[in-house]
Amino acid sequence: MSKETKAKSIIEPKVLKGFRDFLPSMEIPKKAISNKLETHFSSYGFVPIDTPVLEYTEVLLGKGGGETDKQIFHFNDNGGRDVALRFDLTVPFARFLAQHQQELALPFKRFHINKVWRGENPQKGRYREFTQCDFDIVGVDNAEADYEILSMMDSSFSVMGIDNYEFHIAHRGLFNAFLSHLGLLEESVEILRTVDKLRKIGEEEVLSQLQDITGDLQKAKAVLSYISKEDEQEGFLATLDRLSLLAGGETEHTNRMKTIYSYLCSAGIESHFTFDPSITRGLDYYTGIVYETFLTEIPHFGSVCSGGRYNDLASLYTKQQLPGVGSSIGLDRLLAALEELKSPIVSSASSSDVAIFNSDASLFATYDKVAREMRQQGLRVDVYLQNKKQTAQYKWAEMNAIPFAVLFTEDDLQSDTLTLKNLINRETYSSISIKEAIAYIKKDIH
């Protein structure tokens, strides 16, 4: 092949619209967060599962198809099967539960952190490929399970180093009791979809749509009044009492919420939770508590962790009723939020703790020996693999955000010492032992 032909045949390196690469500066913090979450979920006895990326389209969409259909990546495989990329982790989990119920011990607590795909039009911050982090407790319908999910959500945010967050919680059962009391239960799905848009379209538009749905301005006003929190200072239990009254009196849902709240108080975390009747979640499979999570410094980011209780998740695939409660974190959105908050977890994407600079190719075995010893002590150590100009090596260390460099002077080689440079503040430690160097670095990075 002539050079010219070769040049012409180069393919433009590009990714699909709505897809993206994760460079180390983003993938390092993404992994750090998901590792922290996984360790934390494990500390609650939650276990990881994984499911195929591709499934039968019918299994994912049900026989009807419907709304989601347009947004799904689906095609016929070589065997003529209609297959699709999963669009969430909830539906595959429901299928998984139905398929493996004999192999699982209930209550079953699982987490699943992985990618999902939707064909929706990409916008700022919205991608066609994104990572979800789901965690659920299945097989038990009580306040203890509801509380445990909330408790684990709360400690997860601490573990991620996020201080300012607030959980907005409501109860779908209570809302349904209220609609039933008004004689609007038949219209509940439409009403839910409408009130879920409150933050987006505002009170006036919601009222107008509710009037269209109910055909009754008084009822529309009553619904709007239920979902509005008139008094920001109203406490959790006061809101609960007021709503119960609107729903025609105390119900099992009122008691459930009271018990959950008592556990939150016992754990001393009740101040992170607010009763917010505007939270309804659009999806109609929720039956109990529902919640969203807002970062109080950047509320415009919307909810970064949402979910609730459902009491018949796997009904598409099995006659056995499997109640559950769960939650989902959009990991990419959370990462973007942490970036906006300038969280240390996002900004500290160094490739190593220390670089061993290369000033003499014949000394490579020495460099390697020092690197191995430092790695033994838990440091991340990068040996520069070529004898290039010092300026090139400094630049490379800077691009990789490596905070320390090791160099060897003639004296160092004679006396079995080394020279350590702090690349951030430019301090130099001359003629120190490898042990001293390790201690300096560890002290600095922790």
Q: Which residues, 75 to 114, sit near a second copy by CB under 8 A?
A: 75-79, 81, 83, 85, 95-96, 98-100, 103-107, 109-110
Nearest Cα to Cα of residue 323 among 341, 311, 331: 311
* Selected range binding a second copy among 207-215, 229-237, 367-375, 429-437, rule: CB under 8 A: 367-375
Work out whether 1 is an interface residue with a second copy (CB under 8 A): no
Q: Is 16 left (phi over 0), alpha (psi -120 to 50) or beta?
A: beta
* Selected range binding a second copy among 141-149, 212-220, 276-284, 287-295, rule: CB under 8 A: 141-149
Peptide linkage before 107 cis (omega within 30 of 0): yes
Work out whether 319 is an interface residue with a second copy (CB under 8 A): yes
- Name the minimum Å distance from CB 364 to a second copy: 5
Q: Which of 379, 405, 406, 407 binds a second copy (CB under 8 A)?
A: 379
Greatest extent of the chain over all pairs of C-alpha atoms, in Å: 92
List of residues 6+ apart from 398 with CB closer than 8 A: 423
* Selected range binding a second copy among 180-188, 273-281, 394-402, 423-431, rule: CB under 8 A: 394-402
- Name the minimum Å distance from CB 446 to a second copy: 16
Q: Which of 2, 5, 7, 232 binds a second copy (CB under 8 A)?
A: 7
Q: Which of 385, 413, 424, 439 binds a second copy (CB under 8 A)?
A: 385
Q: Which of 2, 4, 5, 12 binds a second copy (CB under 8 A)?
A: 12
> What b/e sequence results for 292-309 when a residue is b if at least 16 CB atoms lie within 10 Å of its CB, and e otherwise?
bbbbeeeeebbbbbbbbb
Q: How far apart are CA 284 and CA 194, in angstroms?
A: 12
Q: Which two tokens stand for residue 324?
A: 């559950």
Tell me the DSSP string of 224-280. HHHH--S-TT--HHHHHHHHHHHTTS--HHHHHHHHHHHHHHHTT-GGGEEE-TT--
What is the SS3 assignment for 162?
A: coil
Work out whether 372 is an interface residue with a second copy (CB under 8 A): yes
Cβ contact 179:191 at 8 Å? yes
* Selected range binding a second copy among 19-27, 173-181, 299-307, 335-343, rule: CB under 8 A: 19-27
DSSP letter at 301 equals: G
Residue span 232-271 as binding mask against a second copy, x where in contact by CB under 8 A, dash where not: ------------------------------xx--xx----
Q: Which of 33, 37, 59, 405 binds a second copy (CB under 8 A)?
A: 59
Residues of this chain, 399-428, that bind a second copy according to CB under 8 A: 399-400, 402
Enclosing H/E stretch for 52:
none
